[in-house]
Amino acid sequence: MTDDLPDLPALALFVAVVEEGGLGAGARRRGLHQPNASRLIARLEAQVGARLIDRHPHGARPTETGLRCLAQARRLLDAAETFMDWRRTIEQQGDVAALRVGASLTIAEHLMPAWLAALRRRAPAISVDPSVQNSAAVLAGVREGRLPLGFVETPHLPGDLQARTVRDDELVLVIAPDHPWAERSAPVTLDELVATPLVVREDGSGTREALETVVGARGMTAPAQILRSNAAVRIAVRSGAGPAVLSALAVQDQLRSGELLRVPLAGAPVRRPLTAVWNGPRHPPGAAARLLEVAEAG
């Protein structure tokens, strides 16, 4: 083993090869031609002094030494990403670090204000430009590079983006106080729910997609109304348009005041993840990482 400093590009390639299960796939992930990737792996093995990868007809797998190297490499690459974040912060000293963030509606209305207040206390130099959209639009903005960070409510997360759940959310069935279900004692079954015209959010909404996931192959009867905001859904329900399934966060004030009533659903609670998404490395850089820390903390 030599005393040279670790070759970070070679370590990043090695991690990609192990995670992708093959040298060719790992090379493509790192934007390398396979012959160059083979040379990098050979140089890394020479530096370590042991074989790290066993190749086989269907790909490649790490050796026992390779598995130990993998754990060390990930820690070292995480530290390198932290260093790069620090370097960018130093470069920005004296400037305001502006961060564009996409947030789907429930998160934007009920969680983001507290997160931004906490971020301002921790890092007053960071300013955030929030963009309120439904989950589908947030995912598109992150994928296209217009949003460095997004927060979505959909359970359907694409595999080409990094994602981290920041908290769970419960979906609840709500009605107007004069709805016939207000008098019932038994929970509403899923079959009853899908047969009832509901007030729902628009296509692309995380709330709508979470509801459709719960319903599954049963499908739903034609909606009573399709609306583009939680506030509009609440008003429609209160006005007698029909029941709705919304985030508990979105109706907590109305349930507390008695404007809406919660009706139990049969079976286990309906939960969905609230998720941060970004494009690129395993950890978001700079100001995005600081906001993600705040979101995960509460």
The pLDDT value given to residue 89: 59
Average pLDDT per 10 consecutive residues for the chain, totaling 298 residues: 75 92 90 90 90 86 92 89 69 60 96 95 89 95 94 93 95 97 94 96 93 88 95 96 97 96 93 94 88 92
CATH architecture of 96-298: 3-Layer(aba) Sandwich (3.40)
The C-alpha atoms of residue 17 and residue 241 are separated, in whole angstroms, by: 55
Amino acid at 12: A
The pLDDT value given to residue 130: 93
* Per-residue burial over 85-111, b = 16 or more CB atoms within 10 Å of its CB, e = otherwise: beeebeeeeeeebebbbbbbbbbbbbb
> Do 96-298 and 8-91 have the same topology in CATH?
no
The pLDDT value given to residue 55: 85
Cα 218 to chain centroid, rounded: 27
Give me the residue label for tokens 């790290």: 52
The C-alpha atoms of residue 214 and residue 16 are separated, in whole angstroms, by: 35
Task: Break the chain into its structural domains and give their ranges.
Answer: 8-91, 96-298
The pLDDT value given to residue 78: 85
Q: What is the CATH number of domain 8-91?
A: 1.10.10.10
Which among 151, 138, 174, 186 has a CA at the least distance from the CA of 248?
174
The C-alpha atoms of residue 172 and residue 250 are separated, in whole angstroms, by: 10
Which among 140, 183, 151 has a CA at the least distance from the CA of 249?
151
* 8 A C-beta contact, residue 10 and residue 66: no
Tokens of 53: 């990868």
